[in-house]
Amino acid sequence: MSAWLWLVAAAVAAIGAVLVGWPAWRDYRAREQRDLNAERYLAWRGRAARASASTPEGMTGAERRRLWIAGGLALAATFCLVGFFTYA
- Give the integer Cα–Cα distance in Å for 78 and 13: 9
Nearest CA to 29 out of 67, 3, 83 is that of 67
- Give the integer Cα–Cα distance in Å for 81 and 54: 43
User: Tens of pLDDT along 57-75?
Assistant: 788 999 999 999 999 999 9
User: Tens of pLDDT along 39-52?
Assistant: 877 788 887 776 65
Q: Which residues contact 84 (CB under 8 A, 6 or more apart)?
A: 3, 6, 7, 10
Is the pTM of the predicted complex or chain greater than 0.75? Answer: yes
